[in-house]
Amino acid sequence: MNRSSFIVKVARIIQKAPLSILRFLEWPFLFFCKNKKENLIILIAPPRSGSTLTYQLLCHSFNSYYLSNLSHLLYKLPLLGGGLSGYLCKNYDSDFNSEQGFVKGVCGPAEGLHFWTYWFNCGLNEAENNNESSNKAKVKYSLYIKSVIKALGKPEKPFITGYLGHLVCIDRLKENFPSAIFVKIYRDPIANGLSVLNSKRKSNTNWFSVLPQECNVTDSNEYVQVASQIFWLNKKMNNIKGDRVISIKYEDICENPRKVINDIAQFCNTRGLHLEVKSELPDSFTRKKNFENEDAKSLSGELKKLESQYGSLNN
């Protein structure tokens, strides 16, 4: 099953159905919810930086609710979808395979473009997300989904989400989920840029994935586009700070995934969650290490231009 399979096409038809008219069935369960805060882990990462692998690792390692392909199918009925997914996918074991961010199977972790766009006006284009009139229309929606996430998540079974668009909606997320824990994923910018470049070429599109509002370069050559995307998304990540923010490296995930998961568990456990690593993990993951080619040189040159104008990526 991939993004173009028959099953996925049928699922997209179901997603367009007016399921929201059945939402009244969820209200009684939300009314009796006693959770005072959300128990939520939010992954923050640029595209092609290891976000899908990390998302799979978290869902594989911890007892959790997460936005599965099943619950994403029912995103207009989030409590029903989340409850069904939590029951059917409670023993999720990942094979750590994906195709351009898509994880197969009903229990495969889903990024959640439809979910986050519908409930928070959090799409992949930052400029469109900041449209004032559209944001006002989403206030009542955000109140509802906040209640759903509080109802689903528990300290010993938090709600985990790994959507790329989180990075361009961070202020809205922090405002609505002040108790959330943020896991930032960094990857070497050249390696990250090369992966984005390859994906862009495969998809044959003018722009690939997340579009920061600073990137007025969609008509520029591919090296300028990718370097600008990597630069500004990493700059945004650098600005996400606080006691509930942990940073990890893609390279460390590949080298020793168990250590990274244990570090995340320890960080979360000192901040109100009660996570236990429930599954065996691979000893390591394979990653490409040689980036000495013309594409890498061109991307490096464009990144240096941006750093000379706007400051180092390490700040």
For the range 87-94, what are the long-range contacts, defined as Cβ-Cβ under 8 Å and sequence gap of 24 or more? Answer: 90/63, 92/59, 92/60, 92/68, 93/60, 93/279, 94/56, 94/57, 94/59, 94/60
Residue 22 to residues 27, 28, 203: CA-CA distances in angstroms?
10, 13, 37
- Do residues 265 and 62 touch, judged by C-beta distance below 8 A? yes
User: Could you give the 3-state DSSP secondary structure of residue 14?
Assistant: helix
CATH number of 6-16+26-186+241-284: 3.40.50.300
- Three-state secondary structure call for residue 264: helix
Q: Kindly report the number of other CB atoms within 10 A of residue 2's CB atom.
A: 10
How many Cβ atoms are within 10 Å of 94's Cβ, its own excluded?
22
Task: Report the half-sphere exposure of 180 (CA within 13 A, side-chain side).
Answer: 27
Domain limits of the chain?
Answer: 6-16+26-186+241-284, 189-240+288-315
Ordered per-residue pLDDT tens for the chain, 315 residues: 455 555 555 556 666 666 677 777 787 777 777 777 899 999 999 999 999 999 999 999 999 999 999 999 889 889 989 999 999 998 899 999 998 889 999 999 999 999 999 898 899 999 988 876 555 556 667 888 998 999 999 999 999 999 999 999 999 899 999 999 999 999 999 999 999 999 999 988 889 999 999 998 888 899 999 999 999 999 999 999 999 999 999 999 999 999 999 999 999 999 999 999 987 899 999 887 767 789 999 999 999 999 999 999 886
DSSP state of 36: S
